[in-house]
Amino acid sequence: MLLSKLVGERTKTNPSDATIPSHILLLRAGYIKLVSNGIWSLSMPAKRIARKIENIIREEMDAVEGQEVSFPVVMPKELWAESGRYFSIGDEMVRFKDRCGRDMVLGMTHEEAAVHFARDAVNSYQQLPFMIYQFQTKFRDEARSRGGLIRVREFTMKDAYSFHIDNEDLEKYYYRVYDAYTRIFKRIGMKDVVAVKSDTGMMGGSVAHEYMLLTDVGEDTIVLCSECDYKANMEVAVSVRDNLRDEVSEPLQEVFTADKADIAAVSEFLNVPENKTVKAVCYFIKGTEKPVICFIRGELEINESKLKKVISAEVVPANIKDIPGLHAGNIGPINLSVPDATVVFDQSLKGLNNLVGGANKPEYHIKGIDFDRDVKIETFYDVAKVKEGEKCPVCGKKLVLRNGIEVGNIFQLGTKYTKTMGMTVLDKEGKAVNPIMGCYGIGIGRAIASVAEESHDDKGLIWPMAIAPWQVYLCALRIDELAVKEKSEELYRALEEQGVEVLFDDREASAGFKFSDCDLMGIPIRIVISPKTLAKGNIEISTRDKKIQTDVSYLEAVHKIKELIYQLSG
């Protein structure tokens, strides 16, 4: 490719609305162009990266017997009504009427289409298991698209759906895909990816893993053990905490705490540590005015994903003034009287004594609360967020918290879709059963951005050889001199004939200008041909990270470049 003809604006200055490195550098290097909020065009180099990533994914999906298919972007309401998701998914799903007035949707994912595709064609256990996958455009009308290609509204996703006769078979296959995903991210060139247990969210199902690229700009939090292999998404992470009970329980005692309304203030005012207090957090069940009151140890926070599972309902923060019987800042487990409230106690409180909690009247708290003696509830739940430094539930060593970008996910879906959409097969005994499904996604654009996030320096992007848009950046300096022009064109042709992917900087521009474009675009190998190198019969070869920088004979150039590409391909 001639750089002089490559469409894509390269700029020196950082765009004002971009804050994370991948966003800034993909824009500055001319890889992406904003069309509308969360909607992008990709230029040739970005598309080349996307295709290389897709090819790696395709190879790994084919290796686990995937069948590449294609489902439509636009689907009729009926399909999504069958699964119920037409009604349960909110504004992030685009709905419109076609010219005949029929309700249509834009696919956010394709479970419904996959079941629709397979349900008539598959009717015997002998046809199971199978996996179908596609690369297809999805549209999710995200309220907060951000960060370039990290969180967008329109994107290409590899989505895969497997169908099994029983859970055992799904489990076995699921971990084959688990391993395939590990290989995919490694081959793409992501270094710091971990698979963590996660919540299944709107997808339904039970077991799920997210593949997280650990990076400071990630908006997800991941809990990792500093010693063992334990890792989990914050939404499902658990930890072990000591619930230390004092030897002697003091009596209950009301104390005046004036306007001290939060844990920090009460704790300071009464001079007790925060882990000797009881915190109350109030919610409404979503769409209702039914209150949910959670009690948790003072230094901890509520994990709303866990809470949702405990009470089997989504919650929204409540305005306490709207709940009769509650006094904001003074809510406690003793003398609590709120009709119809769901009350949840976190296990961090279990067995503790000598705690301070709200007195359920203005300006007072109660000291000396003993959960065994005074509260007497049977069941404590885990609804607490894991904190850095708590103990690993597996090995007891310290947990650490990291930020991450979700680069892929896999779900054991169960029969949610086959049951609602009426897909059955006959099992060995001739009985009609619903196949059990797994589903497996990777976003292509986000993968590009994630690699950029992990692999760049202050000069620009640094693409791994496996997905680099071109392998070689051929820099002709003083191309106005005939010898340079001829030799560089000759080398360009020779390399292309040998299947080497070359971006040929054929512009009449200064060395500094060219070098900085080369670094910005992140091409792994740079070749320089100039009057100086040619005088010695040489070219100069260097790698993007400058670990290799060497002169080689012009006559050996093609051979040496191919060798270096092979070496960098790991």
**Which residues of the shown chain bind its own copies in the complex (CB under 8 A)?**
1, 4-9, 30, 33, 35-36, 39-44, 46-48, 50-51, 65, 67-76, 79, 91-92, 94-96, 98-99, 102, 104, 106, 113, 116-118, 120-122, 126-127, 130, 132, 134, 136-137, 139, 141, 143, 153-154, 156
- What are the C-alpha distances in Å from 547 to residues 42, 522, 539? 30, 14, 17
d(CA 182, CA 194): 8
Closer to its own copies at the Cβ: 106 or 561?
106
Name which of 452, 408, 443 is nearest 182 in CA terms. 408
Say if residues 370 and 339 touch (Cβ distance below 8 Å).
Answer: no
Closer to its own copies at the Cβ: 134 or 348?
134
Closer to its own copies at the Cβ: 282 or 520?
520
Start-to-end Cα distance in the chain: 25
Task: Dihedral sign for Cα 500, 506, 509, 510, please.
Answer: positive
- Chain-centroid distance of CA 357 in Å reads 38
Q: Is 130 helix (H, G, I), strand (E, B) or coil?
A: strand
d(CA 180, CA 158): 13
Closer to its own copies at the Cβ: 161 or 463?
161
For the bound state, the minimum distance from the C-beta of residue 101 to its own copies, rounded and expressed in Å, comes to 11
Closer to its own copies at the Cβ: 120 or 259?
120
Amino acid in position 244: L
d(CA 426, CA 78): 26
Closer to its own copies at the Cβ: 73 or 343?
73
For the bound state, the minimum distance from the C-beta of residue 393 to its own copies, rounded and expressed in Å, comes to 39
Closer to its own copies at the Cβ: 103 or 481?
103
Which tokens belong to 134?
A: 């596609």
For the bound state, the minimum distance from the C-beta of residue 143 to its own copies, rounded and expressed in Å, comes to 7
For the bound state, the minimum distance from the C-beta of residue 114 to its own copies, rounded and expressed in Å, comes to 9
For the bound state, the minimum distance from the C-beta of residue 500 to its own copies, rounded and expressed in Å, comes to 15
d(CA 534, CA 531): 5
For the bound state, the minimum distance from the C-beta of residue 528 to its own copies, rounded and expressed in Å, comes to 23
Closer to its own copies at the Cβ: 132 or 386?
132
Say if residues 488 and 548 touch (Cβ distance below 8 Å).
Answer: no
For the bound state, the minimum distance from the C-beta of residue 422 to its own copies, rounded and expressed in Å, comes to 16
Q: Which residues, at least 6 apart from 19, have a Cβ–Cβ distance to it below 8 Å?
A: 147
Which tokens belong to 187?
A: 């081959």
Task: Dihedral sign for Cα 520, 523, 526, 531, please.
Answer: negative
For the bound state, the minimum distance from the C-beta of residue 415 to its own copies, rounded and expressed in Å, comes to 18
Closer to its own copies at the Cβ: 4 or 498?
4
Closer to its own copies at the Cβ: 120 or 242?
120
For the bound state, the minimum distance from the C-beta of residue 283 to its own copies, rounded and expressed in Å, comes to 24
Q: Is 320 helix (H, G, I), strand (E, B) or coil?
A: helix
DSSP string of 503-524, one letter each residue: EEE-S---HHHHHHHHHHHT-S
For the bound state, the minimum distance from the C-beta of residue 118 to its own copies, rounded and expressed in Å, comes to 5
For the bound state, the minimum distance from the C-beta of residue 514 to its own copies, rounded and expressed in Å, comes to 16
Q: Which residues, at least 6 apart from 221, have a Cβ–Cβ distance to it below 8 Å?
A: 233, 234, 401, 402, 403, 404
Closer to its own copies at the Cβ: 47 or 197?
47
d(CA 113, CA 107): 9
Name which of 115, 124, 162 is nearest 425 in CA terms. 124
